[in-house]
Amino acid sequence: MMKKEVLFCLLICCSCTEEQEQPKPVQWNMEKSTKMNKELAIEESINIDLYFAQHENWEVKQTGTGLRYVILKKTDGAIPKPGMDAKTQYKISLLDGTEVYKTADDEVDIFRIDKSEMESGIHEGIKLMRVGEKAKLVFPSHLAHGLVGDLQKIPPLSPLVVDIELIGIE
Between CA 143 and CA 127 the distance in angstroms is: 15
Is residue 33 assigned to a domain? Answer: no
pLDDT digits (tens, 9 = 90+) for 66-82: 999 999 999 999 999 99
Is residue 150 assigned to a domain? Answer: yes
pTM of the model: 0.81
* CB neighbourhood size of 107 (10 A): 9
Is residue 130 assigned to a domain? Answer: yes
Strand, helix or coil at 139? strand
Is residue 24 assigned to a domain? Answer: no
Look at residues 82, 107, 165, 96 and name the one whose alpha carbon lies nearest to residue 131. Answer: 165
CATH number at residue 129: 3.10.50.40
pLDDT digits (tens, 9 = 90+) for 31-60: 988 998 899 999 999 999 999 999 889 999
Q: What is the DSSP string of 19-85?
A: PPPPPPPP---HHHHHHHHHHHHHHHHHHHHHHHHT-TTS--EE-TTS-EEEEEE----PPP-TTSE
Bridge-partner residues for 62, per DSSP? Answer: 68
pLDDT digits (tens, 9 = 90+) for 15-25: 555 566 777 77
Report the domain count for the chain.
1
